């Protein structure tokens, strides 16, 4: 089978399209014939050895796939060859076949396209866990999303609206702002790519203008860097600032701010929560499928790449040029 392998630490240009043996499912695993694989920011980190998980080389990146079960390992119940599924694989998804632990596999609705399924759980799962389980988002709350046009950010915008919040999308261009308005954002803020102190103050003031003296109820930060502090300064009393990711760098936060505002800085480690509480994850996936079937959320796939061009897809993700979701197909 074909597999896009990382053979040494490095950027997307180091990936090699290779012929490898079709893997055999071990105990508790299913083998999936991949029809589509989602591209996510951690894929750009894992090949550089910058992610918390460091699989032995050679390995294929790709932590999220959809396809058809074609073989089952011992001890697996609830799945059969021919089932249409999605799976969280951690890595290995940029290939024609991949084995996944049955606990990380979910059957998908009969009318759900494989491309939608392949970009569904990572982004919506992360954002739903963040907003529901960590941010306690309620109808009528205000929600500001940093990096709102990316994969998890766009999911947060859609889910925030579905959960009854007033959603403000923060993005770095007018095109991305239009994309977020199409997702349902009530307001948008365009911030510069480089944040000096004046730009930070302008961002904080703009958020305060939109939400009024009460301040923000929930902030969803998928960017980090110099963008975090001005958003924290706009938080309201008992607000929840959700730390989701930091492609712009790990921020340095003055800890007097959460004290004075009596707000919370809350970490969101979705992968860890899935491992620690799989039943809660299963409930969230069930609820996300219901939202999908009701038409309240829908992945915005903006680019498709064949397996041989997976490196180009990862480079676009690393360069923060992606809006919505990107899909790899093995054909």
141 and 180 belong to one structural domain: yes
User: What's the chain's average pLDDT?
Assistant: 95
**pLDDT tens per residue, range 264-273:** 999 999 988 9
Full-model pTM: 0.90
The pLDDT, as a whole number, for residue 293 is 94
Say how far apart CA 92 and CA 59 lie, in whole Å.
6
Flag whether 239 is in a domain.
yes
Residue 328 C-alpha from the chain's centroid: 16
129 and 247 belong to one structural domain: yes
133 and 187 belong to one structural domain: yes
DSSP, collapsed to helix, strand or coil, labels residue 16 as: strand
The enclosing domain of 225 has a CATH number of 3.40.50.720
pLDDT band at 162 (very low <50, low <70, confident <90, very high): very high
Question: For residue 160, what are the domain limits?
Answer: 123-271
Can you tell me the mean pLDDT for 104-124?
A: 94
The pLDDT, as a whole number, for residue 324 is 84
Q: Is 68 exposed, middle or buried (0-12, 13-18, 19+ CB in 10 A)?
A: middle
Flag whether 278 is in a domain.
no
Q: How many domains does the chain have?
A: 2
Flag whether 66 is in a domain.
yes
**pLDDT tens per residue, range 192-231:** 988 999 999 999 999 999 999 999 999 999 999 999 999 9
The pLDDT, as a whole number, for residue 283 is 94
108 and 152 belong to one structural domain: no
129 and 262 belong to one structural domain: yes
127 and 267 belong to one structural domain: yes
161 and 265 belong to one structural domain: yes
**pLDDT tens per residue, range 26-68:** 999 999 999 999 999 899 999 999 988 899 999 999 999 999 9
DSSP, collapsed to helix, strand or coil, labels residue 211 as: helix
Q: Does residue 318 have a pLDDT over 80?
A: yes
């Amino acid at each position: 089978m074909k597999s896009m392998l990382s053979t040494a630490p490095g950027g997307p240009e180091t990936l090699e399209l290779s012929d490898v043996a079709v893997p055999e499912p071990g105990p508790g695993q299913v083998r999936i014939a991949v029809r589509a694989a989602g591209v996510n920011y951690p894929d750009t980190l894992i090949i550089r050895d910058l992610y918390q998980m460091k699989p032995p080389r050679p390995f294929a990146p790709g932590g999220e796939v959809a396809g058809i079960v074609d073989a089952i390992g011992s001890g697996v119940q609830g799945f059969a060859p021919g089932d249409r599924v999605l799976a969280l694989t951690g890595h290995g998804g940029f290939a024609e076949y991949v084995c996944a632990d049955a606990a990380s596999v979910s059957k998908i609705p009969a009318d759900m396209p494989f491309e939608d399924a392949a970009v569904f759980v990572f982004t919506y799962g992360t954002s739903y866990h963040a907003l529901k389980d960590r941010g306690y988002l309620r109808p009528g709350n205000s929600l500001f999303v940093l990096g709102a046009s990316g994969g998890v950010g766009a999911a947060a915008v859609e889910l925030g609206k579905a959960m009854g919040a007033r959603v403000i999308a923060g993005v770095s261009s007018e095109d991305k702002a239009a994309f977020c308005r199409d997702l349902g954002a009530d307001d948008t803020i365009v911030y510069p790519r480089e944040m000096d102190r004046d730009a930070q103050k302008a961002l904080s003031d703009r958020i305060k203008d939109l939400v009024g003296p009460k301040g923000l109820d929930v902030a969803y930060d998928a960017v980090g860097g110099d963008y975090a502090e001005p958003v924290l300064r706009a938080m309201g009393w008992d607000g929840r600032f959700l730390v989701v990711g930091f492609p712009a760098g790990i921020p340095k936060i003055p800890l007097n701010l959460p004290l004075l505002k009596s707000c919370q800085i809350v970490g969101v480690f979705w992968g860890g929560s899935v491992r620690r509480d799989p039943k809660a994850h299963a409930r969230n996936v069930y609820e996300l499928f219901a939202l999908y079937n009701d038409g309240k959320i829908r992945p915005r796939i903006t680019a498709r790449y064949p397996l041989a061009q997976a490196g180009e897809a990862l480079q676009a993700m690393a360069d923060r040029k992606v809006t919505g979701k990107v899909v790899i197909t093995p054909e």
